[in-house]
Amino acid sequence: MAEKLVNYYGMNLARLLADKLAAVYPAFPRQKFLAAYSKKYAPLALTPRVELLADLLKQNLPDDYETAVTLLTQIMGDENPSETGMFKNYYWLMPVGKFIEKYGMEHFDASVNAIAELTKRNTGEYAIRPFLEKYPRPSLVVMKKWARAKNFHLRRLASEGLRPRLPWAKNLTRYIENPKPVFEILTLLQTDDVRFVRKSVANNLRDYAQENPDATRALLAEWERVDNPNTRWIVKEARAKLK
């Protein structure tokens, strides 16, 4: 997927971000931002291009992080009503997620609120992971709240952000030996009506089936006693990775 996406992160995306920011923040130095990106992006792969854009946002938005992230939230537009399209239609928000991940670590509340808005369009699964590492307890409180949210994107993030093995992201090893905090959140999602959410729960448990098969097997045995077709679907999908 990265190879297919890289071409979307050229000057077209830089101009899109610059135009959207200039509309909500007239002082945004549009030409300076575009000139800086044009000098460096061409030889870079996808992830370095996303990070370069995040760095340039930092350099060209107000120094105060909370002011800057508020402006970035304002350009996100309408929420994604679909279970698909997060990368196809909202790919341009990836640098915003990287900005939060890289520059928002000392601003927990503002960053988590921005991640919640981000995931309703693109995804917050990458941005939330360093907060889970640095602020495990308050982050889990937030994840439990998201697991009970009406918005299915938030419910999906409650699972996807806690996957121990997430593509394009550093492994989250904190809960490998004791996955109880993660399993408590996944249990809140075990009967979810939205396939997008259930698929994330199943993938999370597939990861744990490889990392801690005994704990995963015990959890699935409990879930097998739940008389719900959505739970049965998750169990079947998750068991495919159990040895």
Q: What is the pLDDT of residues 132-153, one digit of tens each?
A: 999 999 999 999 999 999 999 9
- CA 139 – CA 69 distance, rounded (Å): 19
Torsion of CA 107, 203, 117, 113, to 10 degrees: -30
CB-based contact 151:122 (threshold 8 Å) = no
Q: CATH assignment of 128-243, given 3.20.20.80, 1.20.200.10, 1.25.40.290, 3.30.56.10? A: 1.25.40.290
Structure confidence at residue 242 as a pLDDT band (50, 70, 90): confident
pLDDT of residue 1: 53
Match 């909202």 to its residue by tokens: 90
pLDDT of residue 2: 55
Mean pLDDT of 118-132: 96
How many residues in total does the chain contain?
243
CB-based contact 165:207 (threshold 8 Å) = yes
- CA 173 – CA 171 distance, rounded (Å): 6
Q: Which has the higher per-residue pLDDT, 223 or 85?
A: 223
pLDDT of residue 7: 85
Q: Which has the higher per-residue pLDDT, 87 or 216?
A: 216
Percent of the chain at pLDDT > 70 equals: 97
Burial of 63 (0-12, 13-18, 19+ CB in 10 A): exposed
Q: Where in the chain is the domain with CATH 1.25.40.290?
A: 128-243
Fill in the amino acid letter for 47. Answer: T
Joined together, the tokens standing for residue 100 give 């939060």
Joined together, the tokens standing for residue 21 give 């920011």
Q: What is the pLDDT of residues 69-114, one digit of tens each?
A: 999 999 999 999 988 868 788 999 999 999 999 999 999 999 999 9
